[in-house]
Amino acid sequence: MLPPDLKLILASKSPRRSYLLEQAGIPFTIRTAEVEEIYPPETPVLEVAPYLARLKAEAADHLLESDREVLLTADSVVILDNEIFGKPRDRQDAIATIGRLSGQRHTVVTGCCLRSRHKQIVFSGIAQVYMHDIAPTEIEAYVDRYQPYDKAGAYAIQEWIGLAKIRRIEGTYPTIMGLPVDLVYERLLNF
């Protein structure tokens, strides 16, 4: 497993990221810092998530208490037709977003940053998601029941849409859920 003297600090309030690390048996501590998630408009869509992960790491840098601690930050975006779908603003935005994704193949990019006092690496997990058609009444019922306002693309792969309306994925399930655990683990081993 990981080197015993390495201490991972997850700088995220995401319960999904915590769950994935716990399930992988990767010990961590949570410490968070606030940051406004804004990126330059000219940023290529595949580079937005890693840019935001790096931005979060820079904002949380003061949380490092020793040379053996490593911060982990992450950000996920959903991309369709070169357009980024982040977290929906409200119910109508969530309904419209899922309506756009319905029946389409979209890309999920989860960017990550590992940062210590002396080193930083930024990387991304990328997955393709093939979605079945979703009826407008199903979309409204999903949004009202699950209230996916804190999820990029307005849905979670581990909820009803992921279970009943995803035809196929290319890439890893954890990447779509919000953390490419395989890549995080590999990078931590070599950090």
Full domain range(s) for residue 96? 7-189
Whole-model pTM: value is 0.95
| pLDDT tens digit sequence for 81-140 | 999 998 999 999 999 999 999 999 999 999 999 999 999 999 999 999 999 999 999 999
Q: Does a structural domain hold residue 1?
A: no
Give 166's pLDDT tier (boundaries 50, 70, 90). Answer: very high
Number of folded domains in the chain? Answer: 1
Using 50, 70 and 90 to split pLDDT, how confident is the model at 4?
A: confident
Residue 2 in domain: no
- Told to judge if 5 belongs to the known catalytic residues of this protein, a careful annotator would answer no
Q: Report the CATH number that the domain containing residue 56 is assigned in CATH.
A: 3.90.950.10
Residue 178 lies in a domain: yes
85 assigned to some structural domain: yes
> Does residue 40 belong to any structural domain of this protein?
yes
Q: For the CA atoms of 20, 87, 79, 75, what is the dihedral angle to 10 degrees?
A: -40
Catalytic site residue from 5, 61, 67, 75: 75
How does residue 1 score in pLDDT terms, banded at 50, 70 and 90? confident
Residue 5: the pLDDT is 86
Which of 69, 59, 66 is CA-nearest to residue 33? 59
Question: In whole angstroms, how far apart are CA 32 and each of 22, 38, 60, 81, 184?
Answer: 18, 18, 7, 33, 18
